[in-house]
Amino acid sequence: MFDYKPAADLLHGRTILVTGAGSGIGRACALSLLAHGAAVVLLSRDQGKLERLYDEAEQSWPGRGHIQAIDLSQAGAADFAAIAAAVERQFPALDGLLHNAAALGPRSPIEFYPEQQWQEVMQINVNAAFQLTRCLLPALSKSADGRILFTSSSVGREGRAYWGAYAVSKFALEGLMQTLAAEIGATTSVRVNSLNPGGTRTAMRAAAYPGENPDTLPSAESLMPVYLYLLGPASRHIHGKALSVRDFDPATID
Ligand SMILES: NC(=O)c1ccc[n+]([C@@H]2O[C@H](COP(=O)([O-])OP(=O)(O)OC[C@H]3O[C@@H](n4cnc5c(N)ncnc54)[C@H](OP(=O)(O)O)[C@@H]3O)[C@@H](O)[C@H]2O)c1
């Protein structure tokens, strides 16, 4: 595992937005980013989970956690524009955007995949990420050192039977990442990458692998050095890359 112990003020002065912050990897990221000095805009579907996270943030890092409940399966252009407007009103720039929220959807052969659930998974995992990115690019472009990190998966890099819309959505995010990286690499200081967290002890993993012993999996907290590195100043040279937590080594990335 990547050995990186950043200073507690690594992200001081930076504002980072995290989707799917209410649970799992997103929650661990939210707390880790706060603990390293960032102001964090926390988006998730479940208002109760967000409020608990907000209370936790207020106790240790008052004033730096900002929550907004949003159901990405239902949100439209006006909702994304409102989030972007609130970010621009409250902060001089947005320094990081972590697309972490995702739906797993059913595990089913393509032939029998339910159409409505296909649309919903693609809406949450891909279309919402596109819309949010588009609306937040002006705020990200104001940052002297911005980051966009898409969350991928092993099944978004090599097709695997029965992973349906989830796998296809992750392939689409890789395409979005590459296209955006090629577009804005030269004209902004925003660096765009994707990251596969790998099998991690969360509710989504348990839903995908109900027979697995969760104790055999790494915790979300144990992945945080890679997320901190990629959302912090040291990763300025990494752009347009499909990365993985498991073998992450910045020295090998050209
Ligand atoms: N865990 C793994 O083994 C693994 C492996 C590879 C990739 N990943 C990726 O890592 C990321 C985090 O996954 P996780 O394992 O931490 O899963 P998780 O615990 O199920 O968390 C998923 C998050 O996405 C949010 N979300 C789901 N549907 C939403 C919607 N309609 N609107 C808004 N937010 C929504 C959830 O919000 P609420 O809690 O508020 O409902 C939750 O915070 C995902 O992109 C996943 O594909 C995970």
Among 214, 197, 221, smallest CA distance to 98 is for: 197
Q: Is residue 4 part of a domain?
A: no
Phi and psi at residue 140, in whole multiples of 5°?
A: -65, -35
Query: If you take atom 46 of ligand 1, which residue's CA is the nearest one?
Result: 102
Q: What pLDDT, on a 0 to 100 scale, did the predictor assign at position 240? A: 98
Q: Say what the pLDDT of residue 254 is.
A: 83
How many A from CA of 187 to the centre of ligand 1?
A: 31
Q: How many domains does the chain have?
A: 1
Q: Which domain holds residue 168?
A: 15-123+132-249
Neighbours of 37 (CB within 10 A): 18
In a domain, 202, yes or no: yes
Among 17, 18, 19, 25, which is best to mutate for testing ligand 1, by the most ligand atoms less than 8 A from CB? 25
User: Which is the closest atom of ligand 1 to the Cα of 125?
Assistant: 45
Burial 87-109 (b: 16+ CB within 10 A, else e): bbeebebbbbbbbbbbbbbeeee
**73 pocket-lining for ligand 1 (C-beta < 6 Å):** yes
3 within a domain of the structure (yes/no): no
Residue length of the chain? 254
- CA atoms of 87 and 66, how far apart (whole Å): 10
| Residue stretches of the chain with pLDDT short of 70 | none
6 domain residue, yes or no: no
Q: Is residue 172 part of a domain?
A: yes
206 CA to centre of ligand 1 in angstroms? 12
Ligand 1 within 6 A of CB of 105: no
- 153 C-beta closer than 6 A to ligand 1: yes
Report how far apart the first and last C-alpha atoms of the chain are (Å, whole number). Answer: 20
Collapsing DSSP to helix, strand or coil, 189 comes out as coil
Q: Is the CB of 49 under 6 A from ligand 1?
A: yes
164 within ligand 1 shell (Cβ under 6 A): no
Other CB atoms within 10 Å distance of the CB of residue 12: 11
Cβ(96) – ligand 1 distance below 6 Å: no
Task: Give yes or no for residue 25 CB within 6 A of ligand 1.
Answer: yes
What is the distance in A from the centroid of ligand 1 to the CA of 204? 6
Q: Torsions phi, psi of 243, nearest 5?
A: -110, 160
Nearest CA owner, ligand 1 atom 43: 20
* Residue 215 included in any domain: yes
Ligand 1 close to Cβ of residue 68 (< 6 A): no
- With contact defined as beta carbons under 8 Å apart, do 137 and 17 qualify? no
**Ligand 1 center from residue 202 Cα (angstroms):** 8
Q: DSSP states of 93-154 as a string?
A: ---EEEE----------GGG--HHHHHHHHIIIIIHHHHHHHHHHHHHHTSSS-EEEEE--G
- Residue 77's CATH number: 3.40.50.720
State which amino acid sits at residue 15.
T
Between the CA of 143 and the centroid of ligand 1 the distance, in Å, is 27
Which residues are catalytically annotated? 166
Task: Give the torsion sign (CA, 245, 36, 231, 194).
Answer: positive
Pick from 2, 10, 6: which is nearest to 251 by CA?
Answer: 2
**78 contact partners, CB below 8 Å, separation of at least 6:** none
Q: What is the pLDDT of residue 1?
A: 80
Give residue 24 CA to ligand 1 midpoint distance, Å: 7
